[in-house]
Each structure stands twice: as C-alpha cells, then as structure tokens.
C-alpha cells in the first residue's frame, strides 16, 4: 500500500498540480534537489564550492588561541552585601 503502484504516483502528481500549480512545481523541485545536495555534502564532508585545487589554495596559518587564565576567587564577604539585622517589634 505504498507508492509502488503507478496509479498512486499519478494520483499524487495530480494532487500536487492542483495544490501548487504548474508554474511552482519546477521551482519546488529545484529547491528540494539543491537542499538534498547541500545536506549530502555536509554529511559526507565534501565541499563542492572549491574553485582552486588544494595545491593552489592560499595557506591559512592556524594561530594558537591565547591561554585561558582563571580569574582570582572572589571572597564571599565581598560578593553579597551584609544582611540587615532583624527588627523586633515591641508590644504596648
């Protein structure tokens, strides 16, 4: 009960023509195809946008990031203001 029957595929094409129209279907197909190609290239790690062979590409020098230094610990008394003293109410 899948798309193995040609009648099901024809029915699906007719529904798509009614919903999107004949002018929009080629645009949708092109965008879907380019999206699938981009996804495949990102998954496989291939880069099809290289214009120069690897020997002629400009060399990128990798610089080491500056070392990360830890900040000095903050004393707990300086971190929070002192709490106010509790106020006792006198009964009269």
C-alpha closest to that of 27 among 35, 39, 18: 35
Each residue's pLDDT tens digit, 26-68:
898 899 999 999 999 998 887 655 555 555 555 555 677 667 7
The token duo for 57 is: 């590409």
The token duo for 66 is: 């500056």
Predicted model pTM = 0.38
Q: How confident is the model at residue 15 (pLDDT cuts 50, 70, 90)?
A: very high
Average pLDDT in the 84-92 region? 74
Residue 83 scores a pLDDT above 80? no
Exposed e or buried b for every residue in 49-77, given b needs 16+ CB within 10 A?
Answer: eeeeeeeeeeeeeeeeeeeeeeeeeeeee
Domain ranges of the chain: 18-46
């Amino acid at each position: 009960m899948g798309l193995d029957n040609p009648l099901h595929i024809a029915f699906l094409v007719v529904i798509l023509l009614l919903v999107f129209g004949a002018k929009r279907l080629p645009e949708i197909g092109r965008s879907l195809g380019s999206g699938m190609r981009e996804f495949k290239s990102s998954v496989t790690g291939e880069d099809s946008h290289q214009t120069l062979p690897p020997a002629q590409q400009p060399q990128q020098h990798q610089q080491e990031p500056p070392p990360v230094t830890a900040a000095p610990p903050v004393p707990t008394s300086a971190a929070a203001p002192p709490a106010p003293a509790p106020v006792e109410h006198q009964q009269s």
